[in-house]
Structure 1
Amino acid sequence: MLRSTASLFLLLLLAVVLAASKPLAQPAQLQIQILSVEKNNGKVVVEIYNAKADWLKKPFRRVTLAPDDNTKKAVFDVPYGKYAVSIYQDTNENGELGMNFLQIPKEPIGFGNNYKPFGEPKFESALIDHGPASKPAAIKLYSVF
C-alpha cells in the first residue's frame, strides 16, 4: 500500500514537472486566404503584425507567394493572439508597395477584416483573432484606383 502511494506520488510529480516544462504559447497555424489575386503578375506579400508600434514598418512575420492562381493561402506558425494583416501584390516586383505622389497605393492591397481605410490604415481595424476555434481569414485584394 505504501509502495503504491509512493509510486502514484512520483507519477504525479513527474506529470507536474513535464507540464511545467512545456512552453505556454504553442505555435498554431494562422491561415489567411487571399482572394482576387491578379494571376501571373508580380508576387503577393503577406505581412502580420503583433505590435501597434511596428505596424506597416516591421512585420512580425512575412511570406511572399507566387501569383499562380486567383486565390492563394498564406500560413504562419504563430501563438494564438490578435494580429494585424497587411497584403499587397507587388506587380512591378520592386519589393515594396507602389504609391503615387499622394501616397495612395498603385498596386492591389488588402487588410485584415477586409478593412478599406480612408487615409492611413489603422492597426486596430486590421486585427484578426487567431485562436483554437478560428477559421481561416479571407481577405480580398482591391485596387484604390
Structure 2
Amino acid sequence: MLRHPTSLFILLLLATVLAASKPLVQQAPLQIQILNIEKNNGKVVVEIYNTKAEWLKKPFRRVTLAPDENIKKALFAVPYGKYAVSIYQDTNGNGELGMNFLQIPKEPIGFGNNYKPFGEPRFESALIDYGPAAQPVAIKLYSVF
C-alpha cells in the first residue's frame, strides 16, 4: 500500500496520462461531391457556413479545387452540426463569383440540398446535416443563364 503522498501523486499522474493516451475514434470528414463541373475551366470554390450572420460574407471553411474532372470531392474536418453550402466555379479566374448588372451569377453555382434560389439565396434552404451517419452530399452546379 502506498503511504507516501509523492507516490500517490505519481500513481495518479500515470493513470491520467494512460487514460488520455487512448486512441480516439477518427471522425469521418464532411464530404461534398460536386457534379457538373466545366472541366479545365477556372477553379471550383466550395464554402461552408455555420452562422446565418456570416452567410455569403465570411465562410467558416473554404476549399478551392482544380476543375480537372467533371466530378470532384471536397472534404472538411469540422465538428458535427448544420452547415450551409455554397459552391461556384470561378471560370474567369478573378477570385470571385461573376455577377451581371442585376446581381445574377454569370458563372456556375450550387447550394446545399441542390437548392435553386429565386433571388438572394437563403441560409436555411442551403443547410445540410452532418453527423455520425452522414453520407457524402452531392451538389450539382448549374448556370442561371
Structure-2 residue corresponding to 1:53: 53
Structure-1 residue corresponding to 2:104: 104
Shift in Å at residue 14 of structure 1? 4.7
> 3-state SS of the aligned residue for 2:98?
coil
User: Superposition RMSD on alpha carbons, in Å?
Assistant: 2.4
Amino acid of the structure 2 residue aligned with 1:74: A
Amino acid of the structure 1 residue aligned with 2:59: P
CA contact (8 A) 1:27 1:80 kept: no
Deviations 1:4-40 (A, max 9, x none): xxxxxx7xx859x74xxxxxxx864000000000000
- Deviating 4+ runs (over 2 angstroms): none
Unaligned runs of 5+ in 1: 4-9, 19-25
**TM-score of the aligned structures, taking structure 1 as reference length:** 0.83
Structure-2 residue corresponding to 1:138: 138
Deviations 1:71-127 (A, max 9, x none): 000000000000000000000000000000000000000000000000000000000
Shift in Å at residue 143 of structure 1? 0.1
**TM-score of the aligned structures, taking structure 2 as reference length:** 0.83
Amino acid of the structure 2 residue aligned with 1:59: P
Unaligned runs of 5+ in 2: 3-11, 21-25
> 3-state SS of the aligned residue for 2:37?
coil
Structure-1 residue corresponding to 2:8: none
CA contact (8 A) 1:35 1:72 kept: yes
Structure-2 residue corresponding to 1:64: 64
Q: What is the percentage of aligned positions where both structures have the same residue?
A: 82
Matched, 1:119 2:115: no
> 3-state SS of the aligned residue for 2:89?
strand
